[in-house]
Structure 1
Amino acid sequence: MNKYLITLCAIGALTLSPVCQAQFGGMLGGMLGGKKSEASADLGAQQDQLVRRYVAAGKDVLTANGHFADALGIKAQAVNASATSDSLSAKDIEAQDKVISADAAAVSEALKSGAKLKDAEAKAKYAQGLVALASGVKKYVDMRNDAQGFASGLSSISPLQMGKLQAGAYIVKTLPSSVTNLTSVLHSAVDFAKSNGVEVPKDATSLL
């Protein structure tokens, strides 16, 4: 089909012959279908990268919560295999987030209730927690632009393709609250460190 015939079909699709309409419709459908397939494949690659970064950030926060729990003498929630795996599924990412949320709440409550660091070892553990928490929060913050780009891309695909992109969609939905909540925890943790003679790493204060 030459360019002239394509133009005629596009302009007079309603008045030209059924053959021309069929040719134009088939060509247009193929073009759009190809673009959607390319968009879906690109989003799949973006999702893989997004999920790996989100999981890595979460593991830093889990490590931080473990150090804080040891330093403050509180019990961290048991971490199951799915919460620390490298799985890219939305279910396992959500499992990690639930553990992070529960432990962060326990740490925050301990800080508010007047917990103390009993010795130098506890202070050292707490300092390690600050470093790990700052690392995790920074990784979450650095993901925001990529998450927004992924969210924009979701609008260009069909609902049938969403099933393969649930993990990325989950991250887009939860990342803002993760950044807000964990930045608040970091702020409280830094204030507690300052009032208890614990050296605060620059990475932690730069995020506040």
Structure 2
Amino acid sequence: MIWEIIWNQMPYLLHGLWIALQLLAALLSLGLVLGLALALIEIYGHWTLRWTGILFERVFRGVPAVVLLLLFYYGVTDFIEMSSFMAAVLALGLRSTAYQSQIFRGAIQSVPQGQMMAAQAMGMGRARAVGWIILPQALRHAIGPWTNEFSSELKATSLAYVIGVVELTRQGKYIVSSTQGNVLIVFGVVALMYFVVNRLGNWALYKFEGRITVPGFERRAA
């Protein structure tokens, strides 16, 4: 009986998964752009910018994701009107920014300093040396740790249900409420869907990492 219900409700679960994937893409994109900028500021910026970046990073890494979601949806919306989906993108995206900034900072600092010195000795300015010499290597180094961020943020999208985003977890909750039970089976199916997406995403990132590996660079074992 429950399997028939789940099969009939599968379009709703798939729609919830699609909303979760849209949320994931938006927050990871926001975190990628701002996180890379924050990492560059923390390494190469003026000390005032560095300390501002460090403060931002410490705050958003130190506050639980659920609290950030509630702050943005019930706090920020008192001044700026936004949907629950946009509040989730901002809250989780800025949280991802803080984590991704440390991924990129570590990747940039893993590039030997001698390469910057060699580039400047050849007459390149620091900004050009960073853009053409340092970042192409650092971004390759960052892909491995970034797979962990992908997995973490995929799971974090499930928290958006607390502010009313109708994603996969909330769709599962609707099915449980309508059937008045079967929690284990319903959320077992939801968990399996998250697991499959997580594994497919990590597989694609591992393949991409292998495609852009530079011969002679250290890389993770398959």
Q: Which structure features the higher share of helix residues? A: 2
**Larger-Rg structure:** 1
TM-score by length of 2: 0.28
Question: TM-score, normalising length from structure 1?
Answer: 0.30
